A and B are shown apart, each in its own frame.
Chain A
């Protein structure tokens, strides 16, 4: 990286760390290969934590000269643990991110208005407030554009909201412990972090993760969300393990099929699953039932894990999800690069199409997935681009972002056909 000497000078001058690493350099800089860390990338650390009655925190570090991220701290416990973690230096020189669980965040997929990205949040605030039946002023809202995965659909965005009161309470709790937070994310971002750690942004990947008592399933492409759903995990009792695993596999399979069917511009070729609370046997059973090649997200293989942190994360859904969120924050430049590259490829393909004057052959921008007319056969564009506020009815906490082309919204709202019980 050509700017490395300049960055070193900045660091020697003791400029703010964020200036030296976050803005001027980072993972996958201009000269770095996408998906890899270089020796020139500076030190950085992210602490992702959940607050409330049950607190959890992980510290993930990027060290100069190391190609892997380092999981140095992980732990969970009551609110009293926050002060102990603070005293132990977990939050020193780190970007602290408050992660909202599935109980505190809400998301919708909306048609993206023709606005600059910085104005999407304002555009999403009022639809979110209307869907949540609250005042816009009482919401924290943001929106992120989603890659276009189907030519028949209009560009969409993922709108995320959280009620202001609970978030303020959590920030007050952290502030009382001496922890200053200036970043808030949602646990679903763990899916992006997991996929980023695996690389291969050109291929679509169905990622799923257990977060608390919920399962988050998303389609990730170019390190961006293309679809996101969440559903409560069924209780173990009185059902037996076999029935639970069967229903869980069926739900994942249907969702993956749904994603694959709707994404006509990319190839969905794998499933990445993080199910720490499941036993090895149950995990293998669930993954073997999926139609796509599935693999398990393992911390040891994706990160350099300290022994104590690894033991803390073992079998813990929240801590594993927090690792994914922290990884997404640290690897965000990779996502930006992938998005820029995809945009450039889209523009090149569009120019080639205009210059040739022939019908598109169905090749995607990445040239990986042939997309014939079968991808959208029998579907009207209107049906494909239905406003997904209606899809919020899919689950109590989730929303699909693809029109259900087979059963329609009415049938789609009947998520109970998967026999996955929703908690109240």
Chain B
């Protein structure tokens, strides 16, 4: 039988390379566009969440400042706010510890938030609190700077006037003249919950009266009850 049909020469050879390449390009472009849209959605959602968080932070700053024009917080206020947040955290941890292990702190001892409130009230223009240590037995140790002995005396008197700190009596105070251009007194105040006669303020007043404002104290007064 004579068969002249030759499929290799007579059938049309369709080259699909270009179509495949075009399809691949389209698919790639589509995937990239979808990924870009996904990223855009994520960006917008993140932006929205950021705004919400900023609004929450603004609301946490205080109802008083909500309607007012937001002003830059002073370092002292920021420090106090930070201390308050840490106090809240500590209070929360203390509450959990009290639930787990029972109360170890005397009932009369103020909580951390109360401490912060007290310290905020104790803050004077001429004194700066640098360190506050609250021990488990309720005693407190304060470190800071004061511009003068009078300012330090005013701090101690304010401490004694605080109603929440009435059970903590200042037991000792160390005063040291800092070698700074301005006259600064570094003090360490220690108060314990045990009742004690309020002799510390008198001692400080005496020290303040005996020591001139400009002259650095030559020695630290330590009054142990």
Residue from A168, A184, A328, A335 within 8 A of B4 (CB atoms): A184
A182 and B1 in contact, given A167-B10, A168-B10, A171-B10 (Cβ under 8 angstroms): no
Question: Is B5 a contact of A144 with CB atoms below 8 Å?
Answer: no
Question: Chain B 1-23, CB within 8 Å of chain A: the 1/0 string?
Answer: 11111110110000000000000
User: Please, how many angstroms separate the alpha-carbon atoms of A131 and B2 in the complex?
Assistant: 19
Does chain B have a CB within 8 A of A298? no
Question: Is B2 a contact of A144 with CB atoms below 8 Å?
Answer: yes
A144 and B4 in contact, given A164-B9, A167-B10, A168-B10 (Cβ under 8 angstroms): no
Query: Chain B contacts of A332 at CB under 8 A?
Result: 1
A182 and B5 in contact, given A167-B10, A168-B10, A171-B10 (Cβ under 8 angstroms): yes
Query: Chain B contacts of A161 at CB under 8 A?
Result: 4
Taking CB atoms and an 8 Å cut-off, the chain A residues in 146-194 that contact chain B are: 158, 160-162, 164, 167-168, 171, 181-186, 189
Query: Chain A contacts of B7 at CB under 8 A?
Result: 182
Question: Is B2 a contact of A162 with CB atoms below 8 Å?
Answer: no
Question: Is B9 a contact of A185 with CB atoms below 8 Å?
Answer: no
Question: Is B5 a contact of A183 with CB atoms below 8 Å?
Answer: yes
Question: Is B3 a contact of A184 with CB atoms below 8 Å?
Answer: yes
Question: Is A189 a contact of B9 with CB atoms below 8 Å?
Answer: no
Question: Is B10 a contact of A185 with CB atoms below 8 Å?
Answer: no
Does chain B have a CB within 8 A of A100? yes
Q: Which residue of chain B is the closest to A107 with respect to CB atoms? A: B2
Does chain B have a CB within 8 A of A262? no
A328 and B5 in contact, given A167-B10, A171-B10 (Cβ under 8 angstroms): no
Does chain B have a CB within 8 A of A413? no
Query: Chain B contacts of A162 at CB under 8 A?
Result: 4
Query: Chain B contacts of A181 at CB under 8 A?
Result: 5
A189 and B2 in contact, given A167-B10, A168-B10, A171-B10 (Cβ under 8 angstroms): yes
Interface of B is mostly: loop
User: Please, how many angstroms separate the alpha-carbon atoms of A182 and B3 in the complex?
Assistant: 10
Question: Is A160 a contact of B10 with CB atoms below 8 Å?
Answer: no
Does chain B have a CB within 8 A of A142? yes
Give the distance to chain B from A123, nearest Cβ to Cβ, in Å: 15
Question: Is A142 a contact of B4 with CB atoms below 8 Å?
Answer: yes
Question: Chain A 333-344, CB within 8 Å of chain B: the 1/0 string?
Answer: 001000000000
> How many of B's residues come within 8 Å of A, CB to CB?
9
> How many of A's residues come within 8 Å of B, CB to CB?
26
Does chain B have a CB within 8 A of A140? yes
User: Please, how many angstroms separate the alpha-carbon atoms of A206 and B3 in the complex?
Assistant: 22
Query: Chain A contacts of B9 at CB under 8 A?
Result: 140, 164
Taking CB atoms and an 8 Å cut-off, the chain B residues in 1-56 that contact chain A are: 1-7, 9-10
Question: Is B1 a contact of A186 with CB atoms below 8 Å?
Answer: no
Question: Is A186 a contact of B2 with CB atoms below 8 Å?
Answer: yes
Q: Which residue of chain B is the closest to A158 with respect to CB atoms? A: B2
Give the distance to chain A from B10, nearest Cβ to Cβ, in Å: 6
Q: Which residue of chain B is the closest to A140 with respect to CB atoms? A: B4
Question: Is A186 a contact of B4 with CB atoms below 8 Å?
Answer: yes
Query: Chain B contacts of A168 at CB under 8 A?
Result: 10
User: Please, how many angstroms separate the alpha-carbon atoms of A309 and B154 in the complex?
Assistant: 134
Query: Chain A contacts of B4 at CB under 8 A?
Result: 100, 105, 140-142, 160-162, 167, 184-186
User: Please, how many angstroms separate the alpha-carbon atoms of A265 and B10 in the complex?
Assistant: 40
User: Please, how many angstroms separate the alpha-carbon atoms of A171 and B7 in the complex?
Assistant: 12
Question: Is A142 a contact of B10 with CB atoms below 8 Å?
Answer: no
Query: Chain A contacts of B5 at CB under 8 A?
Result: 98, 140, 181-184
User: Please, how many angstroms separate the alpha-carbon atoms of A416 and B7 in the complex?
Assistant: 40
User: Please, how many angstroms separate the alpha-carbon atoms of A141 and B10 in the complex?
Assistant: 12
Give the distance to chain B from A159, nearest Cβ to Cβ, in Å: 10
Give the distance to chain B from A103, nearest Cβ to Cβ, in Å: 14
Query: Chain B contacts of A144 at CB under 8 A?
Result: 1-2
User: Please, how many angstroms separate the alpha-carbon atoms of A88 and B21 in the complex?
Assistant: 43
User: Please, how many angstroms separate the alpha-carbon atoms of A181 and B1 in the complex?
Assistant: 17
Residue from A98, A141, A335 within 8 A of B1 (CB atoms): A335
Question: Chain A 299-311, CB within 8 Å of chain B: the 1/0 string?
Answer: 0000000000000
A328 and B3 in contact, given A167-B10, A168-B10 (Cβ under 8 angstroms): no
Q: Which residue of chain A is the closest to B4 with respect to CB atoms? A: A184
Q: Which residue of chain A is the closest to B3 with respect to CB atoms? A: A142
User: Please, how many angstroms separate the alpha-carbon atoms of A329 and B3 in the complex?
Assistant: 10
Q: Which residue of chain A is the closest to B7 with respect to CB atoms? A: A182
Question: Chain B 50-82, CB within 8 Å of chain A: the 1/0 string?
Answer: 000000000000000000000000000000000
Query: Chain A contacts of B3 at CB under 8 A?
Result: 142, 183-185
Question: Chain A 127-144, CB within 8 Å of chain B: the 1/0 string?
Answer: 000000000000011101
Query: Chain A contacts of B2 at CB under 8 A?
Result: 142, 144, 158, 160, 185-186, 189
Taking CB atoms and an 8 Å cut-off, the chain B residues in 136-162 that contact chain A are: none
Binding site for B on A (CB under 8 A): 98, 100, 105, 140-142, 144, 158, 160-162, 164, 167-168, 171, 181-186, 189, 328-329, 332, 335
Q: Which 4 A-B pairs have the closest CB atoms?
A: A184-B4, A184-B5, A140-B4, A140-B6
Binding site for A on B (CB under 8 A): 1-7, 9-10
Given contacts A140-B5, A140-B10, A160-B2, 20 further A-B contacts (CB under 8 A): A100-B4, A105-B4, A140-B4, A140-B9, A141-B4, A142-B2, A160-B4, A162-B4, A164-B9, A164-B10, A167-B4, A167-B10, A181-B5, A183-B3, A184-B5, A185-B4, A186-B2, A186-B4, A189-B1, A332-B1
A-B contact pairs, 16 of them (CB 8 A): A98-B5, A140-B4, A140-B5, A140-B9, A140-B10, A141-B4, A142-B2, A142-B4, A158-B2, A162-B4, A164-B10, A168-B10, A183-B3, A184-B4, A185-B1, A329-B1
